[in-house]
Structure 1
């Protein structure tokens, strides 16, 4: 499967993100930029200039500033006075901290989700997995990565704990950036299969199995990274 095409600088942002649309609001631009990060279409450290993004989306720099501020709150974008905003590029120590924080969040959330399962929620998760599998099998790695991230965020919503869900909402794109930087080997066991096994355990009401499967899933993510 081909790697996701990364954008090395802000120059290519208009072609990558604009899609010919104009007058988008900050609330409409944010998920598009967020998805581009999840799909690893923006390389860690990419410069995100207000002017380039404004041209890309046909909006003012004020609108872009609100979007970047929101991503900065999630620590996905790094903003410093008198410097161009950049996509985060975690060093190995920061990467380990992010992965550790994500494990704490996800293992807590899976326990909460196990107590709040319902047929409609299970169906939503399975629909996401079906889309993830389809794109994986078609070789659309970038889209499959994004849908895999969406699965974890949907699972967090199912847990019905807003602070933890917001916390994870920043850790998922950070994990995508970490994988883009430090992945050394492809995952032999597809993420959608691991997600499907998690949903099976939740549907069966087996919270202990779901917790174990989540640990194994996160173990596999970390095993393919070189952080030494």
Structure 2
């Protein structure tokens, strides 16, 4: 059968790609705004209108509205009547809640039984994490964070889907906390001991795997606690609000709304579950 979309067909016969459907636009908007929140492009405590968000990121108003409703259910955005939307503030209480929830949920990972293919994938990612090591440069930290999140996503893909969704949201909140404090000048978060976790799971040593997972949670707690104590901003210490942001223009931000930083790889979703926007 002749394919009009073949790169070898005459240009005038190739079909124009179909535009994104509303559900695809909403999914894209959700992913873009999620990344903006996790990487603190939208700073904790910021109040901003739906129109300003749509303009800033080059999104449709309807897709932005759907995405905000979704992010509200996930606990990242708060609706403020007659003002707009507020990004979840940073506070010690939030850190404590995330730590407590992770301590309850993540032990489920220690009892996973992995096949040879999954185990090999974990060791491959662990090698990548170790290769980056403790480098402090921002680009290196971003790369390592991406590998660590992909490693965790590979683990969560073996869980009950309900538990997996809950654990992944906790990791999202943890990532946002780490990114925020590192941007404020905190000492970088230590690397995940991925090789030790992968080896314990491969060998069926559930107690050791649980100990390594607990260690990672304790590292996060210690990192966030130290950062809170050393951070002098009102936002970090009390969760205070920031002024409302007006609708931006391209000139104000210095970049096109459509070309903001692409952080999707840092969450590792595409490698383990095939999600895409």
TM-score range, shorter chain: 0.7 to 0.9
Q: Residue 39 of structure 1 contacts residue 143 of structure 1 at CA under 8 Å; is this kept in 2?
A: no
TM-score by length of 1: 0.73
Cα RMSD, aligned residues only: 2.8
Cα separation, 2, equivalents of 1:107 and 1:45: 31
Report the counterpart of residue 118 of structure 1 in structure 2.
115
Q: Which structure is larger by alpha-carbon Rg, 1 or 2?
A: 2
Report the counterpart of residue 149 of structure 1 in structure 2.
149
- List runs of 5+ in structure 2 lacking aligned partners: 1-18, 230-277
Cα separation, 1, equivalents of 2:128 and 2:37: 19
Alignment of 1:163-182 (within 5 A): 163-181=162-180
Please point out which of 172, 181, 187 is paired with 1:185: 187
Q: Residue 110 of structure 1 contacts residue 156 of structure 1 at CA under 8 Å; is this kept in 2?
A: no
Deviations 1:15-40 (A, max 9, x none): xxxxxxx9661212323333344444
Report the counterpart of residue 16 of structure 1 in structure 2.
none
Alignment of 1:126-145 (within 5 A): 126-133=123-130, 137=135, 139=137, 140=139, 141-145=141-145
Determine helix, strand or coil for the equivalent of 1:158: coil
Number of residue pairs matched?
A: 200
Report the counterpart of residue 9 of structure 1 in structure 2.
none
Cα separation, 2, equivalents of 1:60 and 1:84: 16
TM-score by length of 2: 0.62
Alignment of 1:43-122 (within 5 A): 43-111=43-111, 114-115=112-113, 117-122=114-119
Determine helix, strand or coil for the equivalent of 1:79: strand
Quote how far apart the aligned CAs of 1:104 are.
Answer: 1.0
Cα separation, 2, equivalents of 1:98 and 1:65: 27
Quote how far apart the aligned CAs of 1:222 are.
Answer: 0.9
- List runs of 5+ in structure 1 lacking aligned partners: 1-21
Q: Residues 37 and 125 from structure 1, CA distance in 2 versus in 1: closer, same or farther, beyond 3 angstroms?
A: farther
